[in-house]
Structure 1
Amino acid sequence: MVTPTGAAAAAGVIERHLEHLRVERRLAAATLRSYGDALEALRDMAAQGGIALDAVQPHHIRRWAAQLHGSGLAPRSIAIVLSAWRGLYRWLGREGLVAVNPAAGVRAPRAPRPLPKALSVDHAVALAEHRRADTDPRLEARDHCMVELLYGCGLRVAELVGLDITPGGDARGWIDRQGGEAQVLGKGSKRRSVPVGGPALKALDAWRALRERMAKPDETALFVSRHGRRLTASQVRTRLKERALGAGLPTHVSPHMLRHSYASHLLQSSGDLRAVQELLGHANITTTQVYTKLDFQHLAKVYDAAHPRAKKKLEKGTA
């Protein structure tokens, strides 16, 4: 069993380590508090098991991490705890107090990947069709075109702001009006072609007719701010947020949410996962497969709302 002297020694080791982190590593106060809590938890669990800190083995660390998980601690929080424990034992090793790091090979449970948030078809269409009469017609035409391209083509915000008015050369991306395609430069500097639908092309024509009244003479960007220079991703997010509020949507809308909506609605209609992967520019199809879960959620909601046996099944299950 751990004696009172041993417990006091363990506390002293933890205090010395935290002082090392504060003075030599210069960790932020919030990080120090988080690590201090994690190390106190380690000391308490070791004491409850009658184990000295320098006698802890990997199976102890795994068991205690499992206990934290069972108590409801989130995987990301457990990862922070394990990081603090690994740091302590690395330091103890440098001090010559332990031979091996028992936390070195222990990993936190994998956190469930959150499903991407997507708009319903009705909300996405309402946003695309929304018009603002109380704003500068140039800004209205520009913002409407951006929404049509984000939702109609599934562009990333970086791909959108990277579009130029002329193709080729140093252009990061452009729209082939005659071919009805957007040529974009995606992640990893990979180019891809994306079909541009009729509504987006119509919105593009309306914006191009007004763009010269805003853009600086030497500006090549398709989308420019009121100051005549290329829009930033942050500016696009702000304008989209304001437009969604004006359209009466019940949720915050980001450019990536429109990309998720594009993918989800395509998959609902076509069921062609490989085609959606290519349109999104995903290198790995497992990245695209998350939309099958969104598709199932949509189908489940339709079933619950419309199928005559759905409510009876629910009532039977809750009886």
Structure 2
Amino acid sequence: MTALERFERYLTGERGKSAATRAAYLADARLLLELAGERTLDSLQARDIRGFVRQMKQRGHDARSIARRLSAWRAWFALLCREAGFIANPVEAIRGPRAARKLPRPVSADAAAGFLDALDDDDPLARRDRALFELAYSSGLRVSELVGVDLADFLDGGASLTVVGKGGKGRQVPVGASARAAIDGWLLVRGQLARPGEPALFVSRTGGRLGVRAVQLRLDQWSDRLGVADKLHPHRLRHACASHFLQSSGDLRATQELLGHASIASTQIYTHLDFQRLAAVYDAAHPRAKRDKS
């Protein structure tokens, strides 16, 4: 039995991979044989695998494809070490190139404000949606954080909010004046929908906690209703908050804290923007944080 046949049997039996995954992994295995040329598989070392990675980059393979091929090769060599007497797995310590993180399409401050200001609040669900989207843009929340907000999470009379982010890590974020006003409007009618004792700030039409998918659906519906050509999604509101806050403040560390990024590297994706250095405080930095003084 050849090494390739052994791999195909393994993928079909022990791993139970789908036909599409088996085809992809076997294609990856054939590519390794092509790159190896006259060399046998058991003679390959880590430096050879690194050379193959360089060749794939030169051929224009993207980082995601290279990572998948390395995963397939790693599994193949592990099998051959177990069943065919190979001494070492040359792919074991090789990690593929990191895929570039793509930012959502930018949303200008004027476009964000225009969308939010155009939202109706003539029924309970519309008031809920306005509060929902204002809070997402105001505080840069992930959609999972947004739907996880409870009534009891607000501090300082509603000026700040405690949220639980990735890994169960909590943080406190400011809430801008526009968001606070929209939330107050929603709270006036929330009792018409919420079940007795429901802790969630945002509830569905059936009275329970609003779900993540429902937020996206409502954004889609409002985009259609308002004739927004470039539809929004929850992460674009978070991205807009981060971009506009960073543009105004120039404070990368404060932006990291606002977004709840564990590493500053995650926040640095926003530094392609041209900063206009203004005050670092939230009220001065965020386009919708200032109170209307009229």
- TM-score category (smaller protein): 0.7 to 0.9
- The answer to whether structure 1 residue 155 and structure 2 residue 141 are counterparts is yes
Deviation at 1:159, TM superposition (A): 2.2
Amino acid at match of 1:162: G
Deviation at 1:25, TM superposition (A): 1.8
TM-score of the pair, normalised by structure 1: 0.79
The match for 1:44 is 34
Q: Distance in 2 between matches of 1:150 and 1:284?
A: 21
- Superposition RMSD on alpha carbons, in Å? 2.2
Do residues 68 (structure 1) and 56 (structure 2) align?
yes
Match of 1:175 in 2: 154
Question: Aligned AA for 1:234?
Answer: R
Aligned twin of 2:229: 250
Per the alignment, residue 307 of structure 1 pairs with: none
Say which is worse superposed, 91-100 or 143-152, in terms of deviation.
91-100
Compared with structure 1, are the counterparts of its residues 32 and 152 closer, same or farther at alpha carbon in structure 2 (3 Å cutoff)? Answer: same
Instruction: List runs of 5+ in structure 2 lacking aligned partners.
Output: 277-294
Give the number of the structure whose alpha-carbon radius of gyration is greater: 1
SS of 1:210's equivalent in the other structure is helix
- The answer to whether residue 77 in structure 2 is matched with residue 55 in structure 1 is no
Within-5 A mapping of 1:1-319: 12-47=2-37, 50-132=38-120, 137-165=123-151, 167=152, 174-176=153-155, 178=157, 180-293=159-272, 295-296=273-274
1:118 CA drift (Å): 3.5
Q: CA deviation at 1:100?
A: 2.0
TM-score (ref. length: structure 2): 0.85
Asked if the contact 1:154–1:260 (Cα under 8 Å) also holds between the matched residues in 2, the reply is yes
One-letter amino acid of the structure 1 residue matched with residue 125 of structure 2:
L
Q: In the TM superposition, what whole-angstrom CA distance separates every residue of 1:185-213 from its partner, at most 9, and x where no partner exists?
A: 23333333322222212211211111111
Q: Could you tell me how far 1:284 is from its partner in structure 2? A: 2.4
Counterparts of 2:76 and 2:230 in 1: how far apart (Å)? 44
Letter in 2 for 1:124: A
Q: What letter corresponds to residue 279 of structure 1 in structure 2?
A: L
Q: Percent identity?
A: 43
Change (3 A) 1:185 1:97: closer
* 2-structure distance, mates of 1:88, 1:178: 59
Q: C-alpha separation between the residues in 1 aligned to 2:261 and 2:140?
A: 12
Change (3 A) 1:248 1:123: farther
- Maintained 8 Å contact 2:8/2:22: yes
Distance 1:102 1:272, change over 3 A: closer
In structure 2, distance between residues paired with 1:86 and 1:220: 47
* AA matched with 1:130: A
Residues of 2 paired with 1:35 and 1:183: CA distance? 45
- CA–CA distance in 2 between the matches of 1:102 and 1:37? 19
What is the rounded CA distance, in whole Å, between the counterparts of 1:278 and 1:53 in structure 2? 48
Counterpart residue number, 2:281: none
Given that 2:158 and 2:180 are in contact with CA atoms closer than 8 Å, whether structure 1 keeps it comes out as: no
Does structure 2 retain, via aligned residues, the 8 Å contact 1:123–1:249? no
The CA distance in 2 between the partners of 1:214 and 1:155, in whole Å, is 24
Q: Secondary structure at the match of 2:271?
A: helix
Unmatched segments (≥5 aa) in structure 1 = 1-8, 168-173, 300-319
Name the CA shift for 1:22/1:148 in 2 (closer, same or farther; >3 Å): same
1:193 is paired with a residue of what secondary structure? Answer: strand
Residues 1:34 and 1:275: Cα distance change in structure 2 (over 3 Å): same
- Residue 178 of structure 1: SS of its match in structure 2? helix
